[in-house]
């Protein structure tokens, strides 16, 4: 099973981000991320044996439950990764705390954790054919209210991300 932890926007914000993705793809070329796949990855795990999934559910249950506001107010591109994204210019403290707690819990359970610094973002376009300089974006405010253990479903040849387990952030 291919798994990752993510923050998942509510339906209205997912649809708004899906619209932004389509507009950005029209300007840059590439493939817009569909609204139903919009998320902010906190920790990518990759292939995980089924026997280890209960440990991930335990980690999810033990995470801080503080909700927070996240301003998505900057767009940019990582050419080597082949993505254009939207992100916060300022990472709120509760997001940094949540990410650090998740990384520490994963390490304790023997899961590999990304060594690079955390740069929270939402991928909007894959493989853009034209460059995009980092720039301010029309601000979208997200009241982050849920943390999910996600799985990648490739049934029927299309990639779709599904929530395997969810906790509510208050």
- From the candidate CATH numbers 2.40.50.140, 3.40.640.10, 3.40.50.2300, 3.90.1140.10, the one assigned to the domain spanning 2-168: 3.90.1140.10
Residue 35, token pair as written in the block: 């609204």
| Burial environment of residue 90 by CB neighbours within 10 A (0 to 12, 13 to 18, 19 or more) | exposed
Catalytic residue among 36, 39, 99, 119: 39
Residue 39 designated active-site: yes
pTM: 0.94
Residue 121 designated active-site: yes
pLDDT digits 0-9 by tens, 78-127: 999 999 999 999 999 999 999 999 999 999 999 999 999 999 999 999 99
Instruction: Work out the percent of the chain whose per-residue pLDDT is above 70.
Output: 100
Catalytic residue among 36, 57, 99, 121: 121
Beta bridge partners of 168: 146
**Whether residue 170 has pLDDT greater than 90:** no
- Range 27-47 average pLDDT: 96
The pLDDT of residue 158 is: 84
88 phi and psi, to 5 degrees? -80, 140
């Amino acid at each position: 099973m291919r798994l990752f932890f993510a923050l998942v926007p509510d339906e209205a914000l997912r649809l708004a981000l899906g619209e932004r993705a389509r507009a950005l793809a029209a300007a840059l070329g590439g493939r817009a991320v569909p609204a139903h796949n919009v998320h902010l990855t906190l920790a990518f795990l990759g292939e995980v044996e089924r026997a280890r999934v209960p440990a991930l559910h335990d980690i999810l249950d033990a995470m801080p439950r503080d909700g927070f506001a996240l301003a998505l107010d900057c767009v940019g591109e990582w050419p080597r990764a082949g993505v254009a994204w939207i992100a916060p210019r300022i990472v709120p403290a509760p997001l940094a705390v949540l990410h650090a707690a998740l990384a520490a819990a994963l390490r304790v359970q023997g899961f590999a954790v990304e060594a690079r610094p955390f740069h929270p973002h939402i991928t909007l376009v894959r493989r853009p054919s034209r460059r995009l300089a980092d720039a301010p974006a029309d601000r979208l405010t997200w009241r982050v209210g849920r943390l999910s253990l996600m799985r990648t479903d490739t049934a029927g040849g299309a990639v779709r991300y599904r929530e395997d387990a969810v906790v509510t952030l208050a």
